[in-house]
Structure 1
Amino acid sequence: MREVWTDRPGSIAELRSALAEALDGGRTVLPLASGSEGLLTAMAPEEPVEPGTAVIIATSGSTGEPKGVLLSANALLASATATHTRLGGPGHWLLATPAQYIGGLQVVVRTLIAGTELAVLPPGGFRAEKFAEAAADILRADGPRYTALVPTQLTRLLDAGGPGLAAARAFDAVIIGAAATSAGLRERAAEAGVAIVPSYGMSETASGCVYDGVPLDGVTVEIAGDGRVLIAGPVLAHGYRLRPDLTAQAFADGWFRTGDRGELTGGRLTVLGRIDDLINTGGVKVSAAAVERALGAVPGVREACVVGVPDQEWGQLVAAAVVREGGGPSAEDLRAAVRAALGAPAVPKRFEFVEALPLRGPGKVDRQAVTARFSGASPQA
């Protein structure tokens, strides 16, 4: 392998330069955060790079197994171009998420093809005042101004108000990705005047490829017989690093088989949850994502993660970790809401109220960590 970039302070300019070279047929870029020696080793840097690879995105995905997603220059450029077309033309961007992940890296690519300014949020925890400071210069620039955030970052801006929220309002579009945007968060953003664009995609699709339910130009979405979301188009990766077996499973006949369930209504995609998120409780299959949506619709619920916990009697119990605003609602309130929305089998038998959900990557909930929290726990009233 010929290029490794890490997130050393001040090195975004180095990444931008390396990406420009890679997009022009030069050295492959493997963006990694400092301290990612394990991921670097898993990418086998001593082995030759697969032909046609401009960028390798190292990811542990939802399974925790390291994988290297192989992206060509054509895929990256197709995604960036289609994004600008959908949003309203090339613009200036604020990089507010880590550049080793596809969502952040594509922000850099978009400024390269547009020849526009790139502002960068300084390292450290996300704070509304720092967001406002980082955005100041490009918000004074001519032309469209964009940024991309994860739901947690948007929530913090809405909570903080003040200069951070004012800056968010000033962007022509704020892409929300990496995790689902709840109905409650959509409503809060609309009420606050923030022009959000919820997106769906992954490293294998060179970042978001469906914006607010509608595929980008050139992208086709279909639903397989088992409810799985299938994606085709020029944005697709061409496989996984040194894993022809995984490549053959996921990529076939021009389609990428995602791990998500969905439905198409009038050409608009709704993602229903992971293929493997079904909880078999007492012989009834319950969608964890559906329970999360029901919980998220209850006033006072900020976030929720629902998992299946092994149980001798039921096979699996439905368990929910919930982040609340203030002191309510109670577990019984939440049970009643889920029962009304989805029926008795979907009602969580265990609740745990937490300050925040554990994360893996930018905005992605670590479901394995949530499941571990319930090990040995007893039902909470």
Structure 2
Amino acid sequence: MKLEPVVGDDPREILRGLRGALHGAGPALGLGLVDGLPAEVPAGTAVVVTTSGSTGVPKSVVLSRDALTSSALATADRIGDGAWLLALPPSYVAGLQVLVRSLVGDREPAILSGAFTPQAFAAAALMMVSTSHGERIPTFTSLVPAQLSKLLDAAEHDSAVLAALRSFETILIGGQALPAATLERAETAGARIVRTYGSTETSGGCVYDGVPLRGVQVRIDHGEVQVAGPTLAEGYLGAGATVVATPPAGDGATGGTSGRAAPAVFLRAADGTRWYRTGDAGLFDDGVLRVRGRIDNVIVSGGINVSLDRVERIVRGIPGLALAVVVGVPDERWGEASVVVASRGEALRRSEAVQLEEARAAVGAEIGAHARPSRLVLVDELATLPSGKPDREAIRRAVLALH
């Protein structure tokens, strides 16, 4: 079937195209596309979402009608059915799923137009209030932590924003970890929050408050979170290639038609179950999934992936920080932030404030403002492993203990 690129981020245009794609009457939609993708995609494809992974290299994820619909139905099974407000870009999977859920539930979504502001959000939310057969229709929305934080700030002095937050049956929060302090503020304000975990490859959130949705399986393999179920993507599109899907375990074949080795992301177990390797470290605590960050040392700051290894390499080029270690810590505004930790004896050869500003400038110039470290912490001695390498987890715990 044909792939039709969607230029821009117009939610109404995407909604129109998505309606045809989900029903099989129209072409598959290409969101956030890069050059070089094929004009034809596998039958059953609804959307191809191009997004950047932990390395910043674009990945074009193939999502089928069945996967998107399964996700929407599983969400309704968990939190209920009702009307949805779109407050996220529809070209990203969280925003896209708001539209999918609306179409599957046969309801027109409310759409927040223009820049996100608490006042615009409140106006859109309060206009959604309606009834059917004398009963109020539940309303839902999906946000990222930075949006929720902005709304909570405004709600302290704006009764309309507070009323809007309280009006939703459920507010899904995803995209990055939600700081405990922000969750507590939201609950105190009367907002009903559900934390979601997932990715584009899982058709969006597939684990709600640590519990997988109906039909979704989650396992921990060598410390890595892996997901199976009907919401999984078909694989990836590459330049000149068809869907790249990892072959069964033990099979050294390549996927697609480009001759490139398939990335070991989608695996098929001996029993036929297809698993997605998330790259996240996690564990189960009394049956609840706890995600502990990226195995590949990547944080998500403000919804953007930041490689701590890359930040560290740049920081170590600053005089006095040659042996510094960069760790990720929770951040109330951005979800996560990077902190530079250095030995006091090494770092005090120059001004601490100057070093931090030089590090921030260098990282900002090479990666971008979103990756700039938030602080410089000086310690008497950096913790190390028996091998002599930095004990990053111990260093991270030490930084957290400072709070």
Q: TM-score range by the shorter chain?
A: 0.7 to 0.9
2:6 is equivalent to residue 5 of structure 1: yes
Equivalent residue in structure 1 for 2:78, among 83, 86, 108:
86
2:198 is equivalent to residue 201 of structure 1: yes
Residues 277, 320 of structure 1: CA spacing in aligned structure 2 closer, same or farther, 3 A cutoff?
A: closer
What secondary structure is seen at the aligned counterpart in 1 of 2:214?
Answer: coil
For 1:167-205, what per-residue CA distance to the aligned partner results, in whole angstroms no more than 9, with x for missing partners?
Answer: 011100000011111111111111111101010000000
Give the distance between the partners of 1:265 and 1:378, measured in 2 at CA: 33
2:229 is equivalent to residue 238 of structure 1: no
What secondary structure is seen at the aligned counterpart in 2 of 1:79?
Answer: helix
Q: CA RMSD in A?
A: 3.6
Q: Do 1:260 and 1:272's aligned partners in 2 also have CA atoms closer than 8 Å?
A: yes
Shift of 1:265: 1.9
Give the distance between the partners of 1:148 and 1:130, measured in 2 at CA: 15
Which residue in 2 is equivalent to 1:298? none
What amino acid is aligned across from residue 222 of structure 1 in structure 2?
R
Q: Do 2:11 and 2:89's aligned partners in 1 also have CA atoms closer than 8 Å?
A: no
Which residue in 1 is equivalent to 2:383? none
- Return 103-112 or 55-64, whichever deviates more: 55-64
Shift of 1:307: 3.8
What amino acid is aligned across from residue 147 of structure 1 in structure 2?
T
Which residue in 2 is equivalent to 1:251? 266
Shift of 1:316: 4.5
Which residue in 2 is equivalent to 1:102? 93
For 1:203-222, what per-residue CA distance to the aligned partner results, in whole angstroms no more than 9, with x for missing partners?
Answer: 00000000000000000000
Which residue in 2 is equivalent to 1:328? none
Give the distance between the partners of 2:283 and 2:261, measured in 1 at CA: 25
Equivalent residue in structure 2 for 1:134, among 124, 127, 130:
124
What amino acid is aligned across from residue 58 of structure 1 in structure 2?
T
What amino acid is aligned across from residue 21 of structure 2 in structure 1?
A
Shift of 1:61: 2.1
Residues 257, 95 of structure 1: CA spacing in aligned structure 2 closer, same or farther, 3 A cutoff?
A: same
Which residue in 2 is equivalent to 1:262? 282
For 1:120-159, list aligned pairs within 5 A: 120-124=111-115, 126-141=116-131, 142-159=136-153
Shift of 1:368: 4.7
Give the distance between the partners of 2:330 and 2:198, measured in 1 at CA: 25
Give the distance between the partners of 1:237 and 1:324, measured in 2 at CA: 31
For 1:256-304, what per-residue CA distance to the aligned partner results, in whole angstroms no more than 9, with x for missing partners?
Answer: 00110000122210000000118xxxxxxxxx79xx9xxxxxxxxxxxx
Q: Do 2:181 and 2:332's aligned partners in 1 also have CA atoms closer than 8 Å?
A: no
Give the distance between the partners of 2:290 and 2:330, measured in 1 at CA: 23
For 1:295-334, what per-residue CA distance to the aligned partner results, in whole angstroms no more than 9, with x for missing partners?
Answer: xxxxxxxxxx994523488754236799789xxxxxxxx9
What secondary structure is seen at the aligned counterpart in 2 of 1:40?
Answer: coil
Give the distance between the partners of 2:267 and 2:122, measured in 1 at CA: 44
Shift of 1:92: 0.1
What secondary structure is seen at the aligned counterpart in 2 of 1:117?
Answer: coil
Q: Do 2:141 and 2:170's aligned partners in 1 also have CA atoms closer than 8 Å?
A: yes
User: Is there any run of 5+ residues in structure 1 with no aligned partner, and where?
Assistant: 33-38, 279-287, 293-304, 326-333, 339-343, 358-366
For 1:327-372, what per-residue CA distance to the aligned partner results, in whole angstroms no more than 9, with x for missing partners?
Answer: xxxxxxx99xx9xxxxx99xx9989999xx9xxxxxxxxx953696
Q: Do 1:322 and 1:353's aligned partners in 2 also have CA atoms closer than 8 Å?
A: no
Which residue in 1 is equivalent to 2:382? none
Q: Do 1:262 and 1:273's aligned partners in 2 also have CA atoms closer than 8 Å?
A: yes
Which residue in 1 is equivalent to 2:395? none
Residues 172, 322 of structure 1: CA spacing in aligned structure 2 closer, same or farther, 3 A cutoff?
A: closer
Equivalent residue in structure 1 for 2:51, among 50, 55, 59:
59
User: Is there any run of 5+ residues in structure 2 with no aligned partner, and where?
Assistant: 239-243, 245-254, 269-273, 334-338, 361-365, 380-403
For 1:151-190, list aligned pairs within 5 A: 151-161=145-155, 162=158, 163-190=160-187
What amino acid is aligned across from residue 24 of structure 1 in structure 2?
H
Flag the structure with larger Rg: 2
TM superposition score normalised by structure 2: 0.69
Residues 169, 246 of structure 1: CA spacing in aligned structure 2 closer, same or farther, 3 A cutoff?
A: farther
TM superposition score normalised by structure 1: 0.73
Give the distance between the partners of 2:261 and 2:119, measured in 1 at CA: 43
Give the distance between the partners of 1:197 and 1:323, measured in 2 at CA: 19
Shift of 1:116: 1.5
Which residue in 2 is equivalent to 1:212? 209
Q: Do 2:197 and 2:206's aligned partners in 1 also have CA atoms closer than 8 Å?
A: yes
For 1:205-256, what per-residue CA distance to the aligned partner results, in whole angstroms no more than 9, with x for missing partners?
Answer: 000000000000000000002x110000000001001343575511111000
Give the distance between the partners of 1:77 and 1:119, measured in 2 at CA: 19
